[in-house]
Amino acid sequence: MHPAYYQFFDLFRLNRYLLWMLIPPAILTVLGFAHGVHSLQQLSGLAFALPLNGLPIELQQTLATDGLLRLSQISLTLWVLTFFFVCWLYFAFRNLVALFEQVEHTPKQSALMFGRLMIGIFFALRMMLRLWRTSVHERHREQAKIWLVPVWWAILIAANVCKICAVVVLQRATSVGEWSTGYQWMLAAYCLYFPLYLLTWRLAQQLARFQYAHWQHPISDSTRQNAASPTPVVQA
């Protein structure tokens, strides 16, 4: 009985789900930004030391709506990033095994591959750059924009730093001034998250196209031997 090897998985199938997962947080980002700017304008004429519980009911409801939009956007973004890093990246790296090696498809091998991927996420920029370089077919070398990965990674880090600062400040906010400062951090996060969604989609589409080209037009044996293997890609 011949062993079953890993088969190529077309990432475009996952990209359909990724697109529908990116749309809701993108919409909430626009709504949260617009509503947040409106809330800051309403608070701009008030004293910074004024307690939040001393605001008119209408303003308190406005701030509560901002909080709901913020929580919804953060939750959906976390869901998208979890899908991207845990599911999408797993199949992207598994494709490298299917394209460059003949590895028997077993639960143990899949668990080891997934574990190495999770360890590699701690060095995500290095990991993504190697994934990008290895996935690019030789006929697409000139089309591969390597700058896309570090820009995507920098925006991801900056957006999450702004979000964390916003959450910390807003949770402790008891006055108009503290709330305004916290929500300025959140507005900065909104400004970064929207391009992050666009770059994530572009990166996913490009990588799917590069790997599909490998599958349709296999490289030569000599090039295959020189190609980076999936195992060191996901190692630290």
pLDDT at 195: 95
pLDDT at 185: 96
d(CA 62, CA 39): 7
The candidate with the shortest Cα–Cα distance to 70, out of 162, 178, 176, is: 162
Structural domain boundaries of the chain? 11-215
d(CA 36, CA 190): 10
Question: Model confidence at 95, in pLDDT bands (50, 70, 90)?
Answer: confident
Q: Concatenated DSSP letters for the chain?
A: -PPPBPPP--HHHHHHHHHHHHHHHHHHHHHHHHHHHHHHHHHTTS-TTSBGGGS-HHHHHHHHHHHHHHHHHHHHHHHHHHIIIIIIHHHHHHHHHHHH---B--HHHHHHHHHHHHHHGGGHHHHHHHHHHHHS-GGGTTT--TTHHHHHHHHHHHHHHHHHHHHHHHHH--BHHHHHHHHHHHHHHHHHHHHHHHHHHHHHHHHHHHHHHHHHSPPPHHHHHHSPPHHHHS--
- The 10s digit of each residue's pLDDT in 177-186 is 999 999 999 9
Spatial contact of 183 and 56, defined as CB atoms under 8 Å apart: no
pLDDT at 225: 46
- To the nearest whole number, what is the mean pLDDT of the chain? 82
pLDDT at 121: 56
pLDDT at 17: 94
* Residue carrying structure tokens 């095994």: 97
Q: Rounded to two decimals, what is the model's pTM?
A: 0.82
- The 10s digit of each residue's pLDDT in 212-231 is 887 877 655 444 444 444 44
d(CA 98, CA 104): 10
φ and ψ at 191, to 5 degrees? -65, -25
Spatial CB neighbours of 225, under 8 Å, sequence gap ≥ 6: none
HSE-CB for 169 with a 13 A CA cutoff: 18
pLDDT at 212: 85
pLDDT at 188: 96
d(CA 25, CA 21): 8
pLDDT at 132: 79
Arithmetic mean of pLDDT, 64-74: 95
- The 10s digit of each residue's pLDDT in 100-130 is 776 667 777 777 776 766 665 556 677 778 8
A 10 A CB-CB count for 227 gives: 18
Spatial CB neighbours of 64, under 8 Å, sequence gap ≥ 6: none
Looking at the predicted structure, is the pLDDT value of residue 156 above 50?
A: yes
Q: Which residue has the higher pLDDT, 64 or 236?
A: 64
- The 10s digit of each residue's pLDDT in 15-39 is 999 999 999 999 999 999 999 999 9
Arithmetic mean of pLDDT, 131-138: 76
Question: Model confidence at 143, in pLDDT bands (50, 70, 90)?
Answer: low
Report percent pLDDT > 90 for the chain: 46
